[in-house]
């Protein structure tokens, strides 16, 4: 049940069928090229797309826009300390800005950086620093026990150290929840094991904490030790094992923009190196690329993100959408993760081979049938890998209601009917950018029989 009511509304409109077909064609069958005004239910991302509370909007009005020593910074510093347990922060314009600040200070040419699974921008920043990002998910994570399918395979990290030498591993990263692995959670037990490995290898343990509150919710539900703990307690406990956090406030900061690096008081060398980079790339250390008002809103958002009533609604919505789709025989990854429902498009559209992009075909059909925007995370987004053909339906925070979810489920029903009638074709690329890693953002495609 929603623990809030609407106070400000934004109108949305479902264009008619002919318009939707024309919009798709004009967008080159690429959902990133659609105008948001033409989208009815927008599940492209949960990043920066949520709704702020009245307390956050009130804080915006009080935002202190001073270049240095802003009061809003003090509020953020206090919130990060209370909610996440990190007493030193360097604000950044968003998560990838924080990644640039931290990884540039921590990682050097020729290093290796293991992570349960690197998110795209994390991978890119580590590669940009001259190091090799290494994914260490649990073997068969999505086919085995899914209690904590997002976990880091700590054994793989230790094997990597045996292969390349511990001195080549400056950092171990754990991403909570594991966005690239269907938003699945990581256990506190796993974070403790990662801590032990970091101690043994003399590495810095970094947590990518974008969705730390959602992760804490799953820990309370699934890790018996924490059954009676509050989300706020778990949120702090799970981060207490880390030496540093990188944060995109656009997720569990409940804001539309912003981020930060969190560090421990002891590590002065790392803090100094990161601080220099923060000033160079983001801005002075009390605003880091954000307006003071955005800093103020994030200070409030972080506290709201660990309220049980908020998370009951949030995780409940994702779960409900997953159940509604599963009831219609849509193959979804279950149990669902924290921020999105992931659909196996390869299984949903078995007639379309990988080279004809079944995930992207499903994305296009969801728009054609219901004005729903999702994102492909299969062979279009990750060329030359053998990942499953997933489509992600990410739910913006505090934004859509049960009727919107119902609309998404009905849209899947309409797509299934077209599939059964043999009306859905695959796609081929007409035009793509030079960097293959970025092609899903700007490639244009066309249907092919």
Query: By the criterion CB under 6 A, which residues form the site for ligand F0G?
Result: 45, 47, 94-96, 119, 121-122, 175, 179, 208, 210, 248, 250, 259
Beta carbons of 235 and 196 less than 8 angstroms apart: no
Entry field: residues in the chain: 449
Spell out the SS3 assignment of 267-306. Answer: CHHHHHHHHHHHHHHCCCCCCCCCCHHHHHHHHHHHHHHC
Least gap, CB of 416 to ligand F0G (angstroms): 26
Q: Integer distance in angstroms from the first to the last C-alpha of the chain?
A: 44
Q: At what angle do helices 95-106 and 120-128 cross, to 10 degrees?
A: 30
Of 318 and 352, the one with the shorter C-beta distance to ligand F0G is 318
Of 183 and 426, the one with the shorter C-beta distance to ligand F0G is 183
Least gap, CB of 181 to ligand F0G (angstroms): 10
Least gap, CB of 4 to ligand F0G (angstroms): 23
Residue indicated by tokens 């009951």: 312
What does the CA dihedral 432, 436, 442, 448 come to, rounded to 10 degrees? 50
Least gap, CB of 203 to ligand F0G (angstroms): 19
Bridge partners for 137 per DSSP: 152
Of 125 and 168, the one with the shorter C-beta distance to ligand F0G is 125
Of 123 and 220, the one with the shorter C-beta distance to ligand F0G is 123
CA atoms within 13 A on the CB side of 391: 30
Q: How many helices (H) and strands (E) does the chain have?
A: 16, 14
Of 161 and 375, the one with the shorter C-beta distance to ligand F0G is 375
Of 378 and 426, the one with the shorter C-beta distance to ligand F0G is 378
Least gap, CB of 38 to ligand F0G (angstroms): 20
Question: Which alpha helices (DSSP H) does 328-430 contain, by range?
Answer: 345-348, 358-370, 402-420
Residue 248 token pair:
């995109």
Least gap, CB of 98 to ligand F0G (angstroms): 8
Least gap, CB of 177 to ligand F0G (angstroms): 8
Of 186 and 352, the one with the shorter C-beta distance to ligand F0G is 186
- The residue number with the shortest CB distance to ligand F0G is 95
Peptide bond into 128 cis (omega under 30): no
């Amino acid at each position: 049940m929603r623990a809030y009511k609407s106070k400000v509304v934004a109108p949305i409109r479902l264009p008619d069928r002919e318009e939707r077909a024309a919009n798709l064609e004009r967008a080159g069958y690429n959902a990133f090229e659609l105008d948001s005004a033409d989208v009815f239910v927008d599940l492209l991302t949960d990043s920066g797309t949520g709704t702020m509370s009245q307390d956050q909007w009130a804080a915006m009005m009080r935002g202190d826009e001073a270049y240095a020593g802003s009061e809003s910074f003090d509020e953020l510093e206090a919130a990060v300390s209370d909610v996440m347990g990190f007493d030193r922060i360097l604000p950044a314009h968003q998560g990838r800005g924080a990644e640039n600040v931290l990884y540039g200070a921590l990682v050097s040419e020729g290093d290796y950086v293991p992570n349960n699974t690197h998110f795209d921008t994390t991978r890119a920043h580590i590669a940009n620093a001259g190091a090799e990002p290494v994914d260490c998910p649990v073997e068969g994570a999505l086919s085995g026990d899914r209690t904590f399918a997002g976990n880091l395979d700590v054994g793989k990290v230790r094997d990597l150290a045996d292969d390349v030498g511990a001195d080549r591993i400056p950092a171990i990263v754990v991403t909570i929840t594991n966005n690239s692995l269907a938003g699945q959670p990581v256990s506190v037990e796993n974070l403790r094991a990662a801590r032990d490995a970091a101690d043994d290898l003399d590495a810095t343990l970094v947590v990518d904490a974008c969705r730390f509150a959602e992760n804490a919710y799953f820990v309370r539900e699934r890790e018996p030790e924490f059954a009676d703990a509050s989300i706020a307690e778990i949120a702090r406990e799970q981060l207490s094992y880390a030496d540093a956090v990188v944060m995109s406030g656009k997720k569990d900061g409940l804001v539309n923009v912003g981020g930060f690096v969190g560090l421990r008081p002891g590590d002065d060398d790392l803090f100094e190196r990161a601080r220099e980079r923060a000033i160079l790339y983001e801005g002075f250390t009390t605003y880091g690329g954000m307006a003071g008002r955005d800093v103020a809103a994030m200070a409030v958002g972080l506290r709201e993100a660990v309220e049980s009533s908020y998370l009951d609604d949030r995780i409940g919505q994702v779960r409900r959408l997953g159940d509604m789709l599963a009831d219609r025989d849509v193959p979804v990854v279950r149990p669902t993760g924290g921020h999105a429902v992931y659909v196996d498009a390869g299984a949903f559209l078995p007639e379309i081979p990988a080279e004809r992009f079944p995930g992207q075909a499903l994305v296009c059909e969801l728009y054609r049938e219901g004005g729903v925007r999702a994102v492909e995370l299969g062979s279009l987004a990750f060329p030359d890998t053998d990942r499953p053909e997933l489509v992600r339906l990410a739910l913006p925070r505090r934004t859509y209601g049960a009727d919107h979810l119902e609309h998404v489920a009905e849209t899947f029903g309409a797509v299934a009917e077209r599939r059964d009638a043999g009306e859905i074709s695959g796609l081929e690329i007409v035009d793509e950018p030079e960097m293959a890693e970025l092609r899903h953002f700007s490639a244009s495609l066309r249907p092919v029989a």
